[in-house]
Amino acid sequence: MNQYTLLKNTFLINGFLSAVTGLICLILSDYLSTLFGNIPSFYPEIIGGGLVVFGGFVFFTGKKEKPNLILSNIIFYLDVAWVLGTTGLLVSFFESIHILGIAFAAAVGLAVLGFAFFEFKGIKKIET
């Protein structure tokens, strides 16, 4: 196991699950829009499309022998921003979001928090 293994594996899992989550958002956009307080269905579609692109980018970054540290940090900070955004969404709109919407957002947010944790550890392992 080399110094890049943790970061690469985290990126591969993060990329795959981000793309799958994006596809779920695209396929179930009408249903998700009702879970999040009857928002327009193009919001889950935009998020889904973005997640598919992001997931592909992260996955292929993880396929590299030595992931670029600048790109790795960008991915880490995007994941941190996702967690903060999810937290803000849930706090701000808690009363208008269906319990299943809260569960979906919280599950994705916790998964991304885990990815960010392991990305941070992986980046620090490479930097030292």
Among 55, 48, 52, 49, CA closest to 13: 55
pLDDT tens readout for residues 13-68:
999 999 999 999 999 999 999 999 999 999 999 999 999 999 999 999 999 999 99
Measured distance CA(21)–CA(9) in Å, rounded: 18
Q: What is the pTM of this model?
A: 0.93
